[in-house]
């Protein structure tokens, strides 16, 4: 019996929601371990579409326990709205199937405002954040001034903690010519929702330890992708947390020996939202075709995603950084109509060929992709459930990816529907 971590091997938006939902049929517990409500997962189940932002994907399945770990930053109002939205679609969320870490950091209104202020003033240097306060909340966490879920239980403590964090933010706001934030109104608003939040609160590390002792299968669900990791991604065009598989341990309160299999969700082409380097980006008709066929718009922001060819160099690198054991290849069907398909196998930088993605942003912007070209299969793969039924050229492309990235393809997704998945390796067994 294994515990599985699911991470995105590219810049996010790889289709983790569907794969996690598919895996959750076998898991007992699903844990979110980093990020916030800036990352969305879209699930299509029995014709009903669920767009989740904070809630783990397992929440839509009966008899599953869903957990938000200490590594997640939580907008309490957004969480309550999402719970209400899920309830309206027939999903029952209560203390028996949903647990929120008492140590999770809260995103507050001044975090969202600071996010907007910074993006608006950055001009051409903007990062392309979702303006939901994720980065400023993580900054307060590291600065040891954040408000955590547990702080909602005591008015005296909450008032004290608000004084600390507002002392910091109001100094910045005054320097930027913005009005200061009044503590009394925010204190009142937080105390009003505190009972609704605290009913789900618990020491998650103890719960996970209990589930391990009961031999429950645990699925750890990451947000964004490894290329947005604050240490290993395309810095500074990254998110504010560690998105690699190792974060599952720190973001939930368990040891690395709790992780038995790392599954990297990998799109059959490449997309990116926001600013930053993108070596294989296509701004031509093929790029537009990928965006239209793949419905490449953000779940949370509805922003149009940038599209490009599969970058084998990047994926091979993220596999090694995150210890990925197998990849779930998604959206293969989006390539069905293409005559030729390119796979990036190296870069050229300053006249030299290199086989890795450099760390300096200037070099990341200047690398030129070196492609290996494949014949398209020009036939429908959507809905195929057996590898042997795929077109021969699709098999050749998949095997070429597998050989280049030096990791097995464990499953192939051929449509947004949960059932349209070819299983080659079961991560749980």
Residue in the structure block whose two tokens are 């079961």: 426
Backbone angles phi, psi at 266, to 5 degrees: -135, 120
The CA–CA distances, whole Å, from 23 to 98, 330, 335, 423 equal: 18, 14, 25, 11
Residues 6+ apart with CB under 8 A from 230: 238, 239, 240, 241, 242, 243
Query: Do the beta carbons of residue 236 and residue 273 sit within 8 Å?
Result: no
Alpha carbon of residue 6 to chain centroid: 9
Q: Which of 21, 37, 41, 229 is catalytic?
A: 41
363 is catalytic: no
Could you report how far apart the first and last alpha carbons of the chain are, in Å? 6
Burial of 178 (C-beta count, 10 Å sphere; 0-12/13-18/19+): middle
Closest listed residue to residue 412, CA positions, set 420, 422, 425 = 422
Maximal C-alpha separation, the chain? 67
Q: How far apart are CA 396 and CA 390, in angstroms?
A: 10
13 is catalytic: yes
Q: Residue 342 pairs with which residues in a beta bridge?
A: 373
Residue in the structure block whose two tokens are 């969480």: 79
Closest listed residue to residue 1, CA positions, set 250, 220, 261, 263 = 261
User: Hey, what are 251's tokens?
Assistant: 């973001």
Q: How many degrees, rounded to 5, is the angle at CA 110 between CA 105 and CA 113?
A: 120
Q: Alpha helices of 27-108 — where are they, by DSSP H?
A: 76-88
Residue in the structure block whose two tokens are 């051929």: 414
Q: How far apart are CA 321 and CA 334, in angstroms?
A: 28
The CA–CA distances, whole Å, from 273 to 10, 69, 303, 344, 401 equal: 11, 25, 7, 20, 23
Q: Residue 347 pairs with which residues in a beta bridge?
A: 354, 369
Q: How far apart are CA 186 and CA 333, in angstroms?
A: 49
Phi-psi region at 245: left, alpha or beta (left = phi > 0; alpha = psi -120 to 50): alpha
Q: How far apart are CA 372 and CA 376, in angstroms?
A: 13
Q: Which residues are catalytic?
A: 13, 41
């Amino acid at each position: 019996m294994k515990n599985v971590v699911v991470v995105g091997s590219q810049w996010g938006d790889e289709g983790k929601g569907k794969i996690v939902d598919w895996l959750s049929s076998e898991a007992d517990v699903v844990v979110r371990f980093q990020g916030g409500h800036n990352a969305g997962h879209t699930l299509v189940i029995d014709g009903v579409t669920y767009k989740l932002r904070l809630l783990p994907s397992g929440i839509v399945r009966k008899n599953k326990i869903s957990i938000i770990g200490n590594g997640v930053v939580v907008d309490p109002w957004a969480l309550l709205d999402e719970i209400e939205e899920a309830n309206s679609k027939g999903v029952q969320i209560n203390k028996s199937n949903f647990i929120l870490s008492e140590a999770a950091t809260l995103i507050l209104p001044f975090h969202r405002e600071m996010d907007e202020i910074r993006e608006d003033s950055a001009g051409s240097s903007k990062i392309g954040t979702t303006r939901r306060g994720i980065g400023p909340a993580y900054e307060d966490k590291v600065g040891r001034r954040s408000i955590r879920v547990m702080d909602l239980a005591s008015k005296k403590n909450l008032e004290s903690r608000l004084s600390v964090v507002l002392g910091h933010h109001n100094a910045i706001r005054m320097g930027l010519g913005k009005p200061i934030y009044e503590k009394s109104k925010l204190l009142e608003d937080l105390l009003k929702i505190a009972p609704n939040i605290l009913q789900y609160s618990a020491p998650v590390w103890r719960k996970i330890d209990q589930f391990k002792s009961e031999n429950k299968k645990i699925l750890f669900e990451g947000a964004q992708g490894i290329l947005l990791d604050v240490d290993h991604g395309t810095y500074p065009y990254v998110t504010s947390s560690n998105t690699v598989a190792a974060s599952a341990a720190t973001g939930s309160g368990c040891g690395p020996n709790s992780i038995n299999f790392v599954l990297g969700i990998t799109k059959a082409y490449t997309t990116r939202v926001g600013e930053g380097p993108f070596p294989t980006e296509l701004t031509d008709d093929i790029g537009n075709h990928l965006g239209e066929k793949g419905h490449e718009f953000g779940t949370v922001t509805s922003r149009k995603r940038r599209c490009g060819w599969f970058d084998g160099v990047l994926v091979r690198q993220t596999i090694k950084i995150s210890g990925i054991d197998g990849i779930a290849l998604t959206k293969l069907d989006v390539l069905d109509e293409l005559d030729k398909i390119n796979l990036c196998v190296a870069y050229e930088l300053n006249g030299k060929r290199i086989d890795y993605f450099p760390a300096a942003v200037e070099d990341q912007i200047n690398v030129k992709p070196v492609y290996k070209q494949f014949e398209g299969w020009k036939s429908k793969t959507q809905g195929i459930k057996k590898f042997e039924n795929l077109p021969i050229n699709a098999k050749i492309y998949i095997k070429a990816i597998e050989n280049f990235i030096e990791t097995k393809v464990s499953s192939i997704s051929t449509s947004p529907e949960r059932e349209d998945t070819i299983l080659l390796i079961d991560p749980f067994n």
